[in-house]
């Protein structure tokens, strides 16, 4: 064989060997030498965590980082898997939220892998717009619940949440609407997606009672209404006059019903109002006459003249009442003046004293006739 033919044969063999090895060597520098395969250091994903709403999506990108610090996007070439496809699925890095919960997606390539935590509609906390409630029996109050998700977004979940009361004789609750039933304390609980919050409730829990009357002075057989105010623990004041229990220490002096006090005899007593575990006492005095008084200081008449005297009873409550016709009248000298039901008549010149007596009290006035 000639030299030029030998050279061609050698070249053909070399080229054939090179082509036959291309499937095993990732890159070739030229026909005579090959480069060594790059070594993978790690995989890096562009998101550390993913928070999604149900049916939402998020595209993840994964890059391979080589030992020489160079990187390459291998999102499409990587193998993607979800640890719970009922919560989230993944395909070529596209994460799709399926149901509420937590899972992980994993990207694998070149013997390396990386995982990303996934949270779907995961609630970080549940809050209510009322920290505590103080209600009066029969009243209602709407409470709303708000869920804060792991992505910091919020949603009102009042209708979707589960509501319960630990004492339905005190309060009931439906979709956050609280109804006060009876006096006492109870606790509401609202639950949603594994989170819960409790709300203390006080119904007719009273911190103190007050009345609009501190003391009562009443005439015999008269009435007076008393208003009772309950201050709740929320500082709210509620009229509980008709709901309180009213009693009298001495019903021979005064009776009471729904805050209406009536004097039935002379003397002193106390009425008491009890509500929400608190009691208030109000002194009652069946007002008695402290004195009588005339409407004039003296009387001067001429023979044959007449003048009407008016006598008033002054009570211990400072009120006055005309008792002219109910009093007993006398003249100390009927030959000078006469008197009947307060009407004084001059008979002849001289002086006399007129006296009026009522309910054990006596008042006198001098009459001069000229």
Among 262, 286, 310, give the residue marking a domain's end. 286
- Cα 43 to chain centroid distance, Å, stands at 53
Q: Write b or e for each residue in 339-354: b if 16 or more Cβ atoms lie within 10 A of its Cβ, otherwise e.
A: beebebbbbeeeebeb
> Is residue 315 domain-shared with residue 337, that is, in the same domain?
yes
Residue 121's CB is within 10 A of a number of other CB atoms, namely 22
> Is residue 156 domain-shared with residue 221, that is, in the same domain?
no
> Is residue 301 domain-shared with residue 339, that is, in the same domain?
yes
What does each C-alpha distance from 225 to 240, 257, 275, 281 come to in angstroms? Answer: 13, 9, 17, 15
> Is residue 156 domain-shared with residue 134, that is, in the same domain?
yes
Please state, in angstroms and rounded to a whole number, the distance separating the CA atoms of residues 321 and 368: 27
Please state, in angstroms and rounded to a whole number, the distance separating the CA atoms of residues 283 and 231: 21
Predicted local distance difference test score (pLDDT) of residue 11: 39
Please state, in angstroms and rounded to a whole number, the distance separating the CA atoms of residues 303 and 350: 9
* Domain assignment of residue 24, given as a range: 1-37
> Is residue 210 domain-shared with residue 275, that is, in the same domain?
yes
Among 231, 178, 182, CA closest to 200:
178
Sequence-ordered list of residues with C-beta below 8 angstroms from that of 17, at least 6 positions apart, any chain: none
Please check whether residue 182 is in contact with residue 137, taking contact to mean a CB–CB distance below 8 angstroms: yes
The structure tokens 């007076």 sit at: 224
Strand arrangement, sheet containing 88-91: 57-59, 94-97, 88-91
Predicted local distance difference test score (pLDDT) of residue 8: 38
Instruction: For residue 18, report the phi and psi dihedrals to the nearest 5 degrees.
Output: -65, -50
Strand arrangement, sheet containing 171-174: 140-142, 177-180, 171-174
Predicted local distance difference test score (pLDDT) of residue 36: 52
> Is residue 199 domain-shared with residue 243, that is, in the same domain?
no
Residue 283's CB is within 10 A of a number of other CB atoms, namely 14
- Number of folded domains that form the chain: 5
Sequence-ordered list of residues with C-beta below 8 angstroms from that of 33, at least 6 positions apart, any chain: none
Sequence-ordered list of residues with C-beta below 8 angstroms from that of 5, at least 6 positions apart, any chain: none
Among 239, 234, 145, CA closest to 190:
145
Q: CATH code at 258?
A: 2.60.40.1080
Predicted local distance difference test score (pLDDT) of residue 25: 29
Among 120, 145, 166, give the residue marking a domain's end. 120
Predicted local distance difference test score (pLDDT) of residue 5: 44
> Is residue 92 domain-shared with residue 49, that is, in the same domain?
yes
pLDDT in tens, the chain (370 residues): 444 444 434 433 333 333 333 333 233 232 323 235 789 999 999 999 998 888 889 999 999 999 999 999 999 999 999 999 999 999 999 999 999 899 999 999 999 999 999 999 888 899 999 999 988 888 999 999 999 988 888 999 999 999 999 999 999 999 999 999 988 899 999 999 889 999 999 988 888 999 999 999 888 889 999 999 999 877 788 899 999 999 999 999 999 999 999 999 888 999 999 998 899 999 999 888 889 999 999 999 999 999 999 999 998 878 889 999 999 999 999 999 999 999 999 999 999 999 999 989 999 999 999 9
Predicted local distance difference test score (pLDDT) of residue 30: 29
What does each C-alpha distance from 351 to 59, 115, 299, 333, 354 come to in angstroms? Answer: 122, 124, 10, 8, 10
> Is residue 55 domain-shared with residue 4, that is, in the same domain?
no
> Is residue 81 domain-shared with residue 9, that is, in the same domain?
no
pTM confidence score: 0.48
Predicted local distance difference test score (pLDDT) of residue 23: 30
Predicted local distance difference test score (pLDDT) of residue 35: 38
Among 60, 95, 120, give the residue marking a domain's end. 120
Computed on alpha carbons and rounded to an integer, the radius of gyration of the chain in Å comes to 51
């Amino acid at each position: 064989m000639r030299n030029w033919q030998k050279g061609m044969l050698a070249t053909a063999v070399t080229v054939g060997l090179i082509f036959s090895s291309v499937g095993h060597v990732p890159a070739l520098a030229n026909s005579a030498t090959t480069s060594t395969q790059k070594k993978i250091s790690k995989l890096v994903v562009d998101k550390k965590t993913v928070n999604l709403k149900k049916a939402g999506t998020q595209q993840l990108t994964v890059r391979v980082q080589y030992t020489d610090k160079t990187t390459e996007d291998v999102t499409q070439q990587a193998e993607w898997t979800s640890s719970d496809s009922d919560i989230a699925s993944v395909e070529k890095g596209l994460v799709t939220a399926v149901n509420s919960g937590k899972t992980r997606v994993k990207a694998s390539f070149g013997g390396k892998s990386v995982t990303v935590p996934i949270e779907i509609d995961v609630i970080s906390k549940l809050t209510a717009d009322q920290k505590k409630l103080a209600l009066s029996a029969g009243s209602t109050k709407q409470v709303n619940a708000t869920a804060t998700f792991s992505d910091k977004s919020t949603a009102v979940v009042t209708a979707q949440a589960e509501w319960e009361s630990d004492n339905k004789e005190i309060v009931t609750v439906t979709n956050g609407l609280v109804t006060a039933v009876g006096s006492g304390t109870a606790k509401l609980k609202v639950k949603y997606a594994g989170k819960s919050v409790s709300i203390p409730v006080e119904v007719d829990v009273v911190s103190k009672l007050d009345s609009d009357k501190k003391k009562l002075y009443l005439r015999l057989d008269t009435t007076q209404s008393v208003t009772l105010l309950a201050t709740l623990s929320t500082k709210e004041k509620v009229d509980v006059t008709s709901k309180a229990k009213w009693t009298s220490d001495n019903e021979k002096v005064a009776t009471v019903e729904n805050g209406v006090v009536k004097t039935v005899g002379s003397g002193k007593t106390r009425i008491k109002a009890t509500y929400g575990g608190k009691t208030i006492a109000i002194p009652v005095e069946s007002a008695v006459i402290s004195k009588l008084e005339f409407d004039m200081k003296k009387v001067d008449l001429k023979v044959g003249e007449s003048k009407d005297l008016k006598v008033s009873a002054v009570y211990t409550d400072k009120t006055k009442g005309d008792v002219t016709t109910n009093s007993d009248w006398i003249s100390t000298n009927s030959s000078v003046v006469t008197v009947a039901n307060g009407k004084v008549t001059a008979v002849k010149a001289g002086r006399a004293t007129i006296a009026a007596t009522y309910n054990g009290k006596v008042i006198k006035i001098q009459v001069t006739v000229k």
